[in-house]
Amino acid sequence: MNVRKLLDDRLSDAFGSISKEPTPALVSPASRPEHGDYQANGAMALAKRLKTDPRALARDVVNAADLTGIVAKTEIAGPGFINLTLSRQFLTRTIVRPDLVAQVPQPDHIVIDYSSPNLAKTLHVGHLRSTVIGDATARTLEKLGHEVYRQNHVGDWGTPFGMLVTYLDELGQPTDDLSNLDQFYALASERFEKEPSFAERARKFVVDLQSGEKAALTRWKQFIDLSSAHMQHIYDRLNVSLTPNHIRGESAYNNDLAQVVSDLDKAGLLSLSDGAKCVFLEEFTGKEGRPLPMLVQKSDGGYLYHTSDLAALRYRHRILEADRILYFTDARQELHFRMLFAVAQASEFIPKSTKLEHHPFGKLLDGSGRPFRSRDGSAIPLDQLVDEALERARAVVKSKNSNLDDHEFDEVVRAVAIGAIKYADLSKNRVNDYTFDWDSMLAFDGNTAPYLQYAFARIQSLFARAKIDLKSYREDISLDNPNERSLAVQLCRFQETLELVGREAMPHHLCAYLYELTSRFMRFYETCPILDAHEKERASRLAVCAQTAKTLDTGLNCLGIQSVPRM
Ligand code: ARG
C-alpha cells in the first residue's frame, strides 16, 4: 500500500472541502522522528491565498480529514505543519499484508531503451551506467505490474561493420573469437583511413549490405551474432535482465528509413541544406542564434542516427503501443533526444499523450576526477571489470571467515561482487558524475550492497536458529519498542518508494530507502531481544524480521542485486 498517497488523498480532500477547489496537502515522510511519521505542508500556501491564520487552518483541515484507522495522533507544529503519527493497528495491518508490492490498477506499456551499445566494439565501462540504471528501472516498473518492453537499440549497421568484416576476412585466420574486438576495430579503422583500396572494399561491402545482397547479409549476420553472444555473456555475468529477445538494433529499422524521410516531407518539415535532408524547428538554434538542423539523410543518400531513432519511435508507438518511452544514455546525448522528441511530435509520428523521457546520467570518473579508464588510457572492458570485482570480493568474503562450502562461497562472492558494482552506481543520483572506487563499494558498512546483503543473511540465520521457515512466517505484531516501531514505519514506505523510482527513473531513492531500512533494522536488532524475548514478543519480533527480510530481498531484486542466505 502507498501510505504516503493514502494520507495525501485523505488530507487533500479535507483541504479541498475548505478551499472549495483542488488543493494539494503536500504529504511527505517526516524529516525527524519527533515530527511523527509523515507531515503535510499544504496549510501555509493555502492560508496565504485565503489570507487566514495557517495554524488555525491546519487545525480545521485535521478536523475535516477522515483519518480514522490510519492515524493515531496529529499535531500542528511551527507555522502550520501537520504532523501525523500512524496508529499501531494500521502499521501492523500494512506490514502483514501477504502481497508486499501492490500492482498498479492499470498497467502502462512502458518501453525502456537501455544499454544499447555499439556492436563493433567490446562492451566496456562506458556502457555500465546505462545498463545498470536502465535494468533497475525496468525491474522496478515490472514489479509494480507494468507491461515493460526492454529495447536494446544496439548499433549494428553502417560503415564500421563494413570495415570490420572486410578486415577480419582478409586476416586469413579464423575469427570466431572476438575477445580482441577493440584491437581489430582499431586496426581496421587505421587501414580504412590509410589504404584507399581497403576503404573501397569496405565501402562496397556496405553498399552490398544496404542493397540486401545475400552473401554480404549472411556475413554481416554472422559477425553480429558473434558480437551479441559476447554481449549476452557479459549481461549474464552481471545479472542483467536483457536477453537476445530484447535486441532490436538500428538495422531492424533499415527498411523504414525512406518512409520516415518521405513522411517528414509530407508533414512539410523537410528542408534541403547543402544537398542533405534535414528538419529545422524554431526552438533549436546553435551559435549566434543560427537555426540548428536535425539531419535525416546525407547528400549521398545515407541515413543517420536520428533517422533510425525516428523509425524506432514509430515502431514503439504503433507496434508496442507505448504509453511511455524511457531512454537511458549519458548526458551528452541530451540535445539529440530533445530534437528527436520535438520532431516526432511535430510530425505527429507520436501523439502528445505518449510520454517521451530521456534520463541522462553523468560521467564515470576515477579517484582523481578523470574519466575511469585503464592505465593505457583505453576503456576497460566489462568482462575485465567483472573479473576484478570477483577477485576483490573473494578476498573480502574470505576475511569474514564464515564456514561456507566451496559452492556457497562462490555464490556469495558473485553476489557481493556484482552487487557492489551495481549498488555503488545506483545509490548516487544518476544525473551527477560518479566516482568509481573499489574499496568503498565493497565495504561491509555504510551505504553499500554488502551491508544490505549482510543484514539479509543475518535475518536468515536468526530464523535458522529459531528453526522457523521465514517464507511461511506470519504472526501478530505488537511493536512495543520504539526501535521496533521505527523499523515498522520504514517497512510501510516500500510501496511509495518503488512508485517514486518508477515515476522518476531514479533508483537511488530505492537505495536510500533500503539503507535506511537496514540501519533501522540494525538498531532494532541490537537493542531488542528477539529469540530470547517472551513468547508473544518473540513471535511479533520474528514477524518484523521476516517482513524486513522480504522487503530487503525484493528491493535488492529490483536493483538487479542478489541476496544470499549466508555470508
Ligand atoms: N548506440 C548508442 C551509443 O552507443 C546509444 C543508443 C541509445 N538509444 C537510442 N535509441 N538512441 O551511444
| pLDDT, tens digit (0-9, with 9 covering 90-100), for 317-362 | 999 999 999 999 999 999 999 999 999 999 999 999 999 999 999 9
Q: How many domains does the chain have?
A: 4
Q: Is residue 21 part of a domain?
A: yes
- How much distance in Å is there from the Cα of 87 to the middle of ligand 1? 49
d(CA 75, CA 24): 19
pLDDT of residue 254: 93
User: Are residue 400 and residue 254 in the same domain, yes or no?
Assistant: no
Asked if 382 contacts 238 with a C-beta cutoff of 8 angstroms, the reply is yes
Neighbours of 419 (CB within 10 A): 27
Same domain, 255 and 242: no
Q: Which among 1, 321, 311 has a CA at the least distance from the CA of 147?
A: 321
Q: Are residues 296 and 223 in the same domain?
A: no
Residue whose CB lies within 8 A of the most ligand 1 atoms, among 116, 130, 156, 328, for a mutation test: 116
299 and 183 part of one domain? no
CA of 473 to the centre of ligand 1 (A): 46
Q: Which atom of ligand 1 is nearest the CA belonging to 126?
A: 4
Q: Are residues 443 and 472 in the same domain?
A: yes
Task: Examine the fold and report which residue of 190, 223, 246 is the final residue of a domain before the chain moves on.
Answer: 246
- Give the CA distances from residue 276 to residues 182, 300, 335, 554, in Å, rounded to whole numbers and listed in that order: 32, 8, 20, 51
Residue 152 lies in a domain: no
β-strands 147-151, 364-365 pairing: unpaired
The answer to whether residues 450 and 442 touch, using CB atoms and an 8 Å cutoff, is yes
pLDDT at residue 469, as a whole number: 79
Tell me, yes or no, whether 320 and 389 share the same domain.
no
Residue 285's domain spans which residues? 249-361
What is residue 174's predicted lDDT score, i.e. its pLDDT?
65
Q: Are residues 386 and 535 in the same domain?
A: yes
CATH, residue 39: 3.30.1360.70
Which residue matches cell numbers 535475518?
Answer: 459
Last residue of a domain, one of 58, 86, 114: 86
Please return the burial class of 281, using the count of CB atoms within 10 Å of its CB with bins 0-12, 13-18 and 19+: middle
Examine the domain organization and report whether 501 and 401 are in the same domain.
yes
Q: What is the dihedral of CA 210, 216, 221, 227, to 10 degrees?
A: -100
* Same domain? 396 vs 528: yes
Given a cut of 70, the residues of the chain with pLDDT beneath it are 173-175
Atom of ligand 1 nearest to the CA of 327: 8
Q: Which residues pair with 148 in a beta bridge?
A: 110
pTM: 0.95
Assigned domain for 120 exists: no
Atom of ligand 1 minimally distant from the CA of 330: 12
Residue 99 lies in a domain: no
Q: Which amino acid is it at 4?
A: R
Domain end (from 53, 70, 86): 86
| Per-residue pLDDT, 422 | 98
Ligand 1 center–CA 136 separation, angstroms:
18
338 lies in some domain: yes
Task: Report the CATH number that the domain containing residue 426 is assigned in CATH.
Answer: 1.10.730.10
Domain co-membership, 195 together with 269: no
Does residue 546 share a domain with residue 403?
Answer: yes
Q: Output the CA 153–ligand 1 centroid distance in Å.
A: 6
Over residues 250-262, the pLDDT tens digits come to: 999 999 999 999 9
Total residues belonging to the chain:
567
494/439 same-domain check: yes
- Specify if 310 maps to a domain: yes
